[in-house]
Chains A and B, each alone.
Chain A
Amino acid sequence: MQFFGGSAAADMTPSPAAPPGTATGLAGNNANMLYIFNRNGVCLLYREWHRPLHTLDAQQDQKLMFGLLFSLRSFTAKIDPTSVDKGNLGVPLFPGQGCSFYSFRTNTYKLSFMESPSGIKILHLTIDFIFLLFAKFVMRSTGVKSSSMIQHHPSSPSPLPESPDLDKFARSSVASCSISNEIYLFQFRTIHVLKYHFVT
């Protein structure tokens, strides 16, 4: 099994452009990024929606992300407290071998990770803004009991505070829906990219 073997410039097909009207115009810090890697560490697809901070150029960023994934995978396989035979640290693991992780969280973002049996790694990186909004509008609201249901229906009287920020909340949640639709759309497109990658 070959790791870090592919060269990104030769193997990568040009990614389709983001549909118009989805990449910009989102208010606030709701960053969304999607990475798809093949098992050689080549980034097959990278897409970002509103990323405020770029510290590295795109290729370095993807390399660093794959490196982090690779190390975290061997870290979790080694530290796994429930299995007795854990192998050696740093040895490349086959997809599905050993204990894997599915997400991590920092104070600014959350990364979700999925590895398919063929070794395709899909990552979704997002600001945990749904929770932030929950904290901001529900937990701070004096009218909500901690154990009661949150009734948020357009026609029913809402326990959420009436404020201009609430409109922004609604707009951004609509925007986030369009983002997730777009991710599904990209999964279809990705199949074409992957087909190209493996058939040719």
Chain B
Amino acid sequence: MAAIYNLFIINKSGGLIFYKDYGSAGRMDTNDSLRLASLWHSMHAISQQLSPTTGCFGIELLQADNFDLHCFQSLTGTKFFVVCEPGAQHMEGLLKVIYELYTDFVLKNPFYEMEMPIRCELFDIHLSQAIQKDRLVLLGR
């Protein structure tokens, strides 16, 4: 079973900098994932404009028939979002953990250029560990 289907990280201008698939049914090609990322970026911005009150920071949770989408935006505008099973718990916590890993292993990497696609081995390793741990917690319950 897969609680998480995919993970996207997009930079502050809507470009996809990281994408990982954890077992969704129809494989998406690179072009589609890029398009979806920039589409999400713009819808996130529109949802802020449509808010009936001030101080809106965009969509946090989108509930669809077959999945839930949890989104976390960091203060610098980098967005992390996971597509998971409907009703999956603790996704906000997982996104915070992923953000922490991003700051530790991507931003502190001297060879990483800001706003560019993430290619950091340590980040990949720790990310898969975090996701694995999350799955074990899910199986343990």
Contacts from A to B (Cβ < 8 Å):
29, 31, 33, 48, 51-53, 55-56, 61, 64-65, 67-68, 71-72, 74-76, 78-86, 89, 99-109, 125, 127
Given A71-B42, A79-B69; A100-B64 close (CB under 8 Å) = yes
Q: List 29 A-B contacts (CB under 8 A).
A: A52-B54, A53-B53, A56-B49, A64-B46, A67-B46, A68-B47, A71-B42, A72-B43, A75-B36, A75-B40, A78-B36, A79-B28, A80-B26, A80-B67, A81-B26, A82-B67, A89-B32, A89-B36, A89-B39, A103-B62, A105-B60, A105-B63, A107-B56, A107-B57, A107-B60, A108-B52, A109-B53, A125-B50, A127-B52
B interface residues, how many (CB within 8 angstroms): 37
Contacts from B to A (Cβ < 8 Å):
5-6, 24-26, 28, 32, 35-36, 39-40, 42-43, 46-67, 69, 83
* 8 cross-chain pairs, A with B, having the tightest CB-CB distances, nearest first: A81-B24, A81-B5, A31-B52, A101-B64, A84-B26, A108-B56, A104-B62, A82-B66
Q: Please indicate which of the listed interface residues B36, B52, B56, B67 has the most CB atoms of chain A within 10 Å of its own CB.
A: B52
Shortest B22–chain A CB gap in Å is 9
Shortest A1–chain B CB gap in Å is 21
B56 touches which of A48, A86, A89, A109 (Cβ 8 Å): A109
Interface of B is mostly: mixed
Shortest B69–chain A CB gap in Å is 7
Q: Please indicate which of the listed interface residues A67, A99, A106 has the most CB atoms of chain B within 10 Å of its own CB.
A: A106
